[in-house]
Structure 1
Amino acid sequence: MEESEESEELREVKEESEELREVEEESEELREVKEESEELREVKEESEELREVEEEHHVQPGGKPLSRSKTKQTFLKKRRAKKSFTCTQCGNSFTTKQCLERHMMIHTGEKPFSCDQCGTSFKRSANLKEHIKIHTGEKPFTCDQCGKSFKRSEHLNRHMRIHTGEKPFSCDHCGKTFLSSSDLKKHLRVHTKEKPYSCSVCGKSFSQLQALKVHQKTHTGVREYMCFECGKTFITAGSLKQHQRIHTGEKPYKCSHCDERFSESSSRKTHERIHTGEKAFKCSHCDNRFSRSQHLKRHERIHTGEKPYKCSHCDKRFSESSSLKTHERIHSGEKPHTCDQCGKSFTIKSALKLHMKIHTVEKPHHCSLRSRPDGREQGRKNRRQ
C-alpha cells in the first residue's frame, strides 16, 4: 500500500513537473532572466561605449592613437563616472535613476505590478506579462520536432534536449545525468536524504515541493478530477490520466531491452533494472542495496525500529501501511478474500490460499465406497482376513 502511494506521488510529480515547475519556479526564473538581461544590456552598453571611445581616440586628425589598454582605462573612468546612482543599502551603483529605483525594490519588497486574474504581484511589468501567459494559455515557442509549445524560450531549449538526448548535468555520487540543473538538484536529495518540505498538518516531509502540494490535498479532501468512465475521482490531472489507461489499455512505455510495455514510465524504469541489475539505493546502516527507494525505506526501518503507522482503533503500531491495513480488519470485521468454491471469507489472502487446498488437494486417507447387494456399503478393496 505504502509502495503504491509513493509511486503514485512520484508519477504525479514526473508527469506534471514541467507545468508545475513553470508555476513554482516562475519568480526564480524571471529573476534570473531579469538579471541576465540586465547584465547583457550593461555588457552591450559597455561594448558600444568602448567602441565610441576607441573611435574617438583613433580617428583624431593628426593625433596619435591610444593603445588598447589606455583606451580601456579611459573608458572605465568614464563608465565609473556615469554610474553616479548608488544604492544606500548594498553599495551597488547604477547608470540611471530608473535602474536604481528598480533595484531598490529588492530591498523594499515593493511589487507594483499585479495580476488582475489571481492577484500575484511582480517588481517588473515584463515579469507580469510573462505570468499572464499562464492564464491566457499563450505558448508562442513551439518545438519543430514534436509540435509541443511553451510559454518561454528557456523552456523550449530545455525541452529540445529530450530530442537531442543531451543531458549536461551529472551526479557526482552515481554518475546519473539530467536534462536540467533543477532535476539534478532534486536527484541529489536521494543521496543526501534531504526533505526540506514538511506538511503543516501531519509533519510528513518531502524532497520536492510539488509532492508536498499533492500530499496536502489528502487533508483537504479536494479531488477535482473525475473519470467519466467509472466516476472515480483524483487529486491531480496526472493521476486521472494514469487511471484512464486502465480503461483504454494504453501502455505507451516500452522496455528498451525487451518487448514488455507499461502504462507508467516509473514501472518501465523499475522493470529495466531487471535487465541492468542496477541497485542504486544503498542502506546507510548495512551493505544491502535496492532497486527501489521504497524498498530501501522499508528495509531501513529494521535498523531504526520506526513504526509510523498507528492503528486508529488501538495503540498498536506497524512499520508498513499494508500491515496496518490488514490489522485494522480485526476491528472492522472486513474479510475481502472469498473462496469461490464454498463462499467462506478471510481477512488475508494467504489464509484464503491455505483454505483452497481443502478443495484442490486429494485427501490421502479417503476411502471410496460402493453399494453391496444387501444395501450396505463397503470399501472398494475387501479387508484382508
Structure 2
Amino acid sequence: MAFIKEESEEMKFEETLRVKHEETEEQTKKGESEEMKIEETFRVKHEVTEEQTDLMVLKKESEVINEMEEKDQFKKNDFITRETSFSCSQTEKTLSQKKTKNKVTRSNLICQQCGNGFTLKSSLKRHMRIHTGEKPFTCPQCGKTFAGKGSLDRHMRIHTGEKPFTCPQCGRSFSNKGHLKVHMRIHTGECPFICQQCGKRFSLKGSLKKHMRIHTGEKPYTCPWCGKTFAEKGSLDRHMRIHTGEKPYTCQHCGRSFNIKGNLNCHMRIHTGEKPFTCQQCGMSFHQLENFQVHMRTHTGEKPYTCPQCGKTFTQKVNLNRHTRLHSREQLYTCPQCGKSFNQKQHFVDHIRVHTGEKPFTCQQCGKGFNRIGSLNGHMIVHTGEKPYNCQQCGKSFNRKGSLNRHMSVHSG
C-alpha cells in the first residue's frame, strides 16, 4: 500500500513538472512573440522615422531650391525693373529733349503776322504767300497763277485731260484724288457729315454747310441789281440771268433758248410729246412735275401759300409772289434795253422778244410764228372754229376774249 502511494505521488510530481515545463515553454514562446512584436514595432518606427527624415530632407532641399530661385527671380526682376526704369527715363529724357528742340526750332520759325509756327523754313515761306498774295507758279497755257506747285500740277490736268485716279468699282476716272475719295461714297453709302439739328446725313461737307442755312436762315449771296438774297451761289447765278437776259441753254430742234437747264429739259417734252406725270383721278397728263402738283390741288382744294398782309391764299407760290407785289408795288424785272419794268417774270420774258424779234411759238398748220404762247393759243381758234367766250346776256359766242369785251359795250351802252 505504501508502495502504491509513493508511486502515485511520483506521478503527480512528474505531472506537475510537465505542466510547469509547458507553462515555461508557453511563456518563453510568448516572450519571444512579444520580443518579436517589440522588434517589429521598433523596425516599423525606425522605417517611418527614416522616411520622415528623408521627406524632411527633401522638403528642406526643395525650400532651399525655391528660395534660391526666388532670389534669382527677384534679382532678374529687379534688373528688368531697373533696366525698364532706365529705358523709360531715357525715353522721357529723349522726348523732352526733342520737344525742347522742336520748341526752340518752332520759336525760331514763327509767322510774325498770325503767330503760326513751322519746323521747316520752306513751310514758313509757303505760308507767307497767304499774307503776301504771291503766286509764283504760272500755267503756261492759260496764264493762271498759283501759290503752290502742287496746285499748278493739279490744274494742268485740266489742259492735258489726265485722270490718273480711277474708281476700282465702276472705272470712272478723276483728275483729283479728293474727287475720287468723295465719289467712292456713292458705292459705300458713307455719309459722314450729320446735321446736329435734324439728323440728316450728307456725303459732302459742302452739302451739310448748305443744308445748315435752312436752320439758320442765312442767305449770304446777294443780287447786286435788286438786292434779293439767296442761300446758294447757283441760285444767285440763275437769278442774275433775269437781269442780264442770258440764256445759255438752247433747244436743238427749234432754237429756243432758256436761262435754266431744267426749263430746257421740260421744253424738250413738247417736241417728244412725253407727259410722264399723270393724274390718277382724272387721267390728265403733264410735261412738268410742278404743273402736276399744282393740278392735284384742284382735287384736294389745298392752297398752301398765304399772303401775310391780307390773308389771301394761293395754290402756287408764283401766284403769291405776284400778288405781294401789288402791296409793295415792286417792279422786279427791268428791261436792260429800254428800262421798262415788270412785276411778273413772264411779262418781262415776253417783252424781251419785242427787241429780239424772236417768235418761238409756231402754228403747226400754217407756220405762223408768235412771241407768246397765249397768242398762239388764240390763233389756233381760227383753224378749229372754236368760240369759247359766250355773252351771258344774249348768248352770242366769240373766239377771243377781247371780242367778247367789246361786244359787252353793246349791252352796257
Cα distance change of structure 1 residues 342 and 271 upon mapping to structure 2, 3 Å threshold = closer
Q: Is the 8 A contact 1:141 1:152 kept in 2?
A: yes
Give matches, 1:133-282, under 5 Å. Answer: 152-282=204-334
Deviations 1:237-256 (A, max 9, x none): 33322221121111111112
Q: Deviations over 1:235-290 (max 9, x none)?
A: 34333222211211111111122201112111111111111110021233434311
Write the letter of the residue equivalent to 1:197. Y
User: Residue 310 and residue 293 in structure 1: after superposition, are their counterparts in 2 closer, same or farther (change >3 A)?
Assistant: same
Residue deviations 1:191-232, cap 9 Å, x none? 111111111121111111222222222222222222111112
DSSP-derived class of the 1:173 partner? coil
Normalized per residue, the structure richer in helix is: 2
1:110 counterpart = 2:163: yes
Q: What residue identity is the alignment partner of 2:163?
A: E
Deviations 1:136-184 (A, max 9, x none): 9987766566676655443333233233221111111221111111111
What do the CA deviations read for 1:325-349 (whole angstroms, capped 9, x no partner)? 2222222223334567887654234
Per-residue deviation, 1:109: 4.2
Answer yes or no: is 1:68 the counterpart of 2:110. Answer: yes
Change (3 A) 1:256 1:191: same
1:215 maps to a residue whose letter is H
Q: Is the 8 A contact 2:331 2:341 kept in 1?
A: yes
- Tell me, yes or no, if the aligned pair for 1:254 and 1:262 is still in contact at 8 Å: yes
Distance 2:274 2:250 in 1: 19
> Which residue in 1 is equivalent to 2:345?
293
List per-residue Cα deviations over 1:74-128 (Å, max 9, x = no partner).
6144799xxxxx9x99897459xxxx8x8886534437646979x8665678756
Letter in 2 for 1:207: N
Q: Distance in 2 between matches of 1:138 and 1:296?
A: 45
1:259 maps to a residue whose letter is G
Relative to 1, partners in 2 of residues 1:278 and 1:133: Cα closer, same or farther, differing over 3 Å? Answer: farther
2:386 corresponds to: 334
Q: Give the aligned residue type for 1:310.
A: T
Cα distance in 2 for partners of 1:281, 1:266 equals 14
CA distance in 2, matches of 1:217, 1:135: 32
Contact persistence 1:167–1:180 (CA under 8 A): yes
Given that residues 115 and 121 in structure 1 are in contact (C-alpha distance below 8 angstroms), is that contact kept between their aligned partners in structure 2?
no
Question: CA 1:321–1:234 in structure 2 vs 1: closer, same or farther (change >3 Å)?
Answer: closer
Structure 2 residue identity aligned to 1:288: K
TM-score under structure 2 normalisation? Answer: 0.57
Greater shift after overlay, 264-273 or 214-223? 214-223
Deviations 1:276-324 (A, max 9, x none): 1100212334343110122123234445555443333335443332222
Listed as ranges, the matches of 1:50-129 within 5 Å are 56-58=101-103, 66=108, 68=110, 75-77=120-122, 93-94=149-150, 106=158, 107-110=160-163, 113=166, 122=174, 127=179
Task: Summarize the Cα distance change of 1:287–1:89 in structure 2 as closer, same or farther, 3 Å threshold.
Answer: closer
2:109–2:124 Cα contact (<8 Å) kept = no
Taking the aligned partners of 1:179 and 1:132, their CA distance within structure 2 comes to 28
Aligned length: 298
Aligned residue identity for 2:386 = E
Greater relative contact order structure (CA < 8 Å, 6+ sep):
1
1:324–1:77 CA distance, 2 compared to 1 (3 A): closer
- Structure 1 residues 164 and 78: CA distance shift in structure 2, 3 A: closer
Structure 2 equivalent of residue 46 of structure 1: none
Rounded to whole Å, the distance in 2 between the matches of 1:161 and 1:298 is 34
Residues 254, 260 of structure 1: 8 Å contact kept? yes
Structure 1 alignment gaps of length 5 or more: 1-51, 81-85, 365-385
* Counterpart residue identity of residue 385, structure 2: G
Indicate the residue corresponding to 1:309 in structure 2: 361
Higher mean C-alpha deviation, range 126-135 or range 319-328: 126-135
Instruction: Tell me whether 296-305 or 175-184 shows the greater mean CA deviation.
Output: 296-305
Decide whether the 8 Å contact of 1:309 with 1:321 is kept in 2. yes
Secondary structure, aligned partner of 2:163: coil
Decide whether the 8 Å contact of 2:341 with 2:348 is kept in 1: yes
What RMSD in Å do the two structures reach over aligned CA positions?
Answer: 4.6
3-state secondary structure, aligned to 2:120? helix
User: Structure 2: which 5+ residue stretches go unaligned?
Assistant: 1-96, 126-136
TM, length-normalised to structure 1: 0.60
